[in-house]
Amino acid sequence: MKYSVALRKATLIRRYKRFLADVELDDGTLVTAHCPNTGSMESCHAEGCVVWLSYSDNPARKLQWTWEFTQTAEGLIGVNTARPNQVVAMAVEQGLIPSLTGYQTVRREVKYGKNSRIDLLLESPEREPCYVEIKNATLRRRDMILFPDAVTERGLKHLEELSEMVKLGRRAVMLFFVNRPDGRAFTVADDIDPKYGTGLRAAITAGVEVLAIRAVSTPHGITTGESVPLEF
């Protein structure tokens, strides 16, 4: 996925009210940007860090700037939780994720389960459909990447609904998009949300597949990279 307009470098002053961030652009201009991330963003932001913003000239938007990345010494951390679905959908269509190849169509935001929408529905006439739920994983502790970074009742519901799809004879995949360049392996943050940890292990037992795929990010765009080992 490539950005149609070049991103702008800025310095983070503060994040507040979850969805707002005051930043200083590289020319010294102070603006308030939209923070499209409902989590704690632990290990993803600190006052004074370098961030990258996208700009929209849509007059209907209250905030024209959107926080896309946090810059670290190792590379970029993707904090915009809307991007992983876009990137993974394009990667599947281009055959860049080997375990998700062999499907003719990729549909997004398809209704299923109990009044939910699956992130990606992969379909082919000759095989059962594949339901793919995608989560943005950015929390790092020591050499591990973890999810979630905050309690997520919605995430637990998604695991339960994926398990129901398996019971119906369909394929279900929980894909964690490791949206930072560091971290040796992926695991679940049981201390932050023990119910989610229990739910994820129950889903695996039920037959839900788990993938962790590394993002490869630059200020020009994002694609998918290597698989990240799982350690539960």
How many beta carbons lie within 10 A of that of residue 59, not counting itself?
6
Residues 60 and 175 reside in one and the same domain? no
Residues 138 and 207 reside in one and the same domain? yes
Residues 102 and 213 reside in one and the same domain? yes
List alpha helices for the chain, DSSP H.
Answer: 83-93, 153-167, 194-206
Residues 31 and 96 reside in one and the same domain? no
Residues 21 and 124 reside in one and the same domain? no
First to last CA, the chain: 31
Domain with 154 in it: what CATH number? 3.40.1350.60
Q: What is the pLDDT of residue 115?
A: 82
In a domain, 28, yes or no: yes
In a domain, 12, yes or no: yes
In a domain, 1, yes or no: no
Residues 41 and 125 reside in one and the same domain? no
Domain with 51 in it: what CATH number? 2.40.50.580
DSSP states of 159-222: HHHHHHHHHTT-EEEEEEEE-SS--SEEEE-TTT-HHHHHHHHHHHHHT-EEEEEEEEEETTEE
How many beta carbons lie within 10 A of that of residue 22, not counting itself?
16
Return the SS3 of 17: coil
Task: Dig out the tokens for 7 from the structure.
Answer: 């991103």
In a domain, 179, yes or no: yes
- Out of 43, 73, 103, a domain closes at 73
Q: What is the pLDDT of residue 4?
A: 86
Whether this model's pTM surpasses 0.85? yes
Domain that holds residue 42: 8-73
Q: What is the pLDDT of residue 86?
A: 97
In a domain, 133, yes or no: yes
- Please list the pLDDT of the chain residue by residue as tens digits (232 residues): 999 889 999 999 999 999 999 999 999 999 999 999 999 999 998 999 999 999 999 999 999 999 999 999 999 999 999 999 999 999 999 999 999 999 999 999 999 987 899 999 999 999 999 999 999 999 999 999 999 999 999 999 999 999 999 999 999 999 999 999 999 999 999 999 999 999 999 999 999 999 999 999 999 999 999 999 999 8
Residues 87 and 160 reside in one and the same domain? yes
In a domain, 102, yes or no: yes
**Considering its fold, how many domains does the chain have in total?**
2
Residues 68 and 93 reside in one and the same domain? no
Residues 18 and 91 reside in one and the same domain? no
In a domain, 232, yes or no: no
Question: DSSP label at 79?
Answer: -
In a domain, 15, yes or no: yes
- Out of 73, 95, 120, a domain closes at 73
Q: What is the pLDDT of residue 77?
A: 98
Residues 27 and 88 reside in one and the same domain? no
Residues 56 and 159 reside in one and the same domain? no
| Residues 119/108, Cβ–Cβ less than 8 Å | yes
Residues 101 and 215 reside in one and the same domain? yes
